[in-house]
Chain A
Amino acid sequence: MKGNEAVAEAAIRAGCKCFFGYPITPQNELPAYFAKKLQASGGVFLQAESEIAAINMVLGAASAGVRSMTSSSSPGISLKAEGISYIAGSDLPCVIVNVQRGGPGLGSIQPSQADYLQATKAMGHGDFHVIVYAPCSVQEMVDTVFKAFEIADLYRMPVMILADGLLGQMMEPVSFPDFTLSEPTKKWAADGHGGKRKKNIINSLFLQPDDLERTIRERFARYDEIKARETEAELYMTEDADIVLVAYGATARVVKSAVNLAREQGIKAGLVRPVTLWPFPEKELNEGAQNARALLCCEMSMGQMVDDVKLAINCSKPVTFYGRTGGSIPSPTEILEEIKRIGGVV
């Protein structure tokens, strides 16, 4: 199954009842799958007039207490930024998938990881975060979709799945485990008070500075909980690693191959793969890098994650970068050469 289709199937199984989207390559299989399957499972698929309308339809459906989702690729995600900010500011749960392509501008339609900073640091105006998951296989995309809906409801906030054109377009075997859904009762939803409760207001406007500050501080207290409970990373051959590579998503697969090649040549390389990009797995990175002499960050961008890596280890070790951008995918041999270049030769 293609990654994009697998995400859509997983979402339907995760109780997603509304999908609103807009065509953009390389994520088109995702809305197409919903268009074919969502109605049959009692849900709603709607192709919106724009990315902006699509995210605001998600805002409306999520306000009404229904599991909702949208997907797009980089330029479309930029357009959704406004709506994502409102959704975060209104404490609404939803799932957003970004099948990244090359940028800036119209860029390319090939895989890229150049939206890392947007996703983790500035997904819109204002003081807020979205939880960002970076799966690295079609199976992990499926598993992440389930988790994303649950986590979004649990913390009442948008969850982003940061994929890329490679993960979206590739086919891999995938299984859909039986998931037990635990969608909470949404007492806060604007779904008609029925004369049984006070009215609910879904809102991000607080004209009194003290009020706005209080809501933001409350939200950031929740962010602290998320940091403590939901941060995830995979450590691969890091125990004795001299050189620790840091990579996420599709690039992490390539890096894993490079680590294996390096090990075959007697170079002690390892990989720390952040699974959540926000919150960034600082503790896990330090654990994985404790015996390392140097760190090598690999991305399909010009190095957007490097600063997070440096901050996580408090600049205690040299951190270098190797990446390809513009839609090119690094190869394991390229990365192996880089490992050797920075001193991993035994």
Chain B
Amino acid sequence: MTHEILAAGFGGQGVLFLGRVLAQAGLIDGKEVSWFPSYGPEMRGGTCNCSVCLSEKPIGSPLVTHPSVLIAMNTPSLEKFIDFVVPGGVVICDSTMVDTEVSRDDVKAFSIPASQLAADNDLKGGANIILIGKLIKETGVFTRETFKKAIEKIVPPEREHLIAGNLRAAEIGINS
């Protein structure tokens, strides 16, 4: 099974980090993986998205043009990419930031107020990980154990204290 995941939002929401966690998890599960950012000229605040492919087969284009999973962290991202999601695909929105409904009925759409939940739980900047939790719950793309290993791998040693928060954020998504 090949997952072609597109995560999109504003710069600074942790879209690229979200993608890296997915890629790392795929790697831990022994899959072929690729991660490719769309990069704009601005360092902060621009629109930002990243393509992650997880597959049993070698990956051709690392650029996801027709995602099987779309993670939208703001309204413009949902509007920009919703028409490209493959029929039967999964759409996960941060409903704190996305104020429109998913307009298609041939995709599986899920909403979770990830930014609000992050703020309520003292997990500043953790909305991206809450969305990964939701992805784990709704698609089973990988397990929470794999996620834990991925986070432990990615978070650098000098920031080890951040691991617990990330695990807590994922649980919020999984249990929502």
Contacts and interface: CB of A to CB of B under 8 A. Distances in A.
A26 interface: yes
Contact of B61 (A165, A171, A173, A331): A331
Interface string B20-36: 10010001000011111
Contacts of B65: 331, 333
A172 B61 contact: no
Contacts of A169: 36-37, 39
Contacts of A329: 61, 63
Interface string B30-67: 00111111010100000000000000001111110110
Contacts of A26: 39
Contacts of A170: 34-36, 62
B33 A173 contact: yes
Contacts of B33: 171-173
A342 to B, nearest CB: 20
A52 interface: no
B60 A260 contact: yes
A331 B23 CA distance: 21
Interface in B60-100: 60-63, 65-66
Contacts of A332: 60-61
A258 B58 CA distance: 13
B60 to A, nearest CB: 3
Contacts of B60: 253-254, 256-258, 260, 332
A171 B39 contact: no
Contacts of B32: 173
A173 B36 CA distance: 13
Contacts of A262: none
A166 B39 CA distance: 10
B39 A25 contact: yes
A171 B35 contact: yes
B59 A171 contact: no
B61 A253 contact: yes
Interface size on B, as a range, is 10 to 19
Interface centre among A173, A256, A257, A329, by most chain B C-beta atoms within 10 angstroms, is A173
Contact of B62 (A109, A166, A173, A256): A166
Contacts of B23: 171
Contact of A257 (B36, B39, B61): B61
Interface string A90-111: 0000000000000000000100
A253 B39 contact: no
A173 B27 contact: yes
Nearest to B57: A260
Interface in A11-37: 25-26
Nearest to B61: A254
Contacts of A173: 27, 32-33
A165 B36 CA distance: 10
Given A171-B23, A173-B27, A253 B59 contact: yes
A171 B54 CA distance: 12
Interface in A23-77: 25-26
A254 B20 CA distance: 22
B63 A166 contact: yes
A171 B36 contact: yes
A334 to B, nearest CB: 9
A174 to B, nearest CB: 11
Interface centre among B32, B37, B61, B62, by most chain A C-beta atoms within 10 angstroms, is B61
A108 to B, nearest CB: 9
A109 B39 contact: yes
Interface centre among B34, B35, B59, B62, by most chain A C-beta atoms within 10 angstroms, is B62
Nearest to A172: B34
Nearest to A256: B60
Contacts of A257: 60-61
Contacts of A109: 39, 41
A118 to B, nearest CB: 23
Nearest to A167: B62
A332 to B, nearest CB: 6
Contacts of A171: 20, 23, 33-36
Given A165-B39, A258-B60, 10 more contacts: A25-B39, A25-B41, A109-B41, A166-B36, A170-B36, A171-B23, A171-B36, A250-B61, A253-B60, A331-B65
Interface of A: 25-26, 109, 165-166, 169-173, 250, 253-254, 256-258, 260, 329, 331-333
Please give me the 4 A-B residue pairs with the lowest Cβ-Cβ distance, nearest first: A257-B60, A171-B35, A170-B36, A254-B61
13 contacts: A25-B39, A166-B36, A169-B37, A170-B62, A171-B20, A171-B33, A172-B33, A172-B34, A172-B59, A173-B33, A329-B61, A331-B65, A333-B65
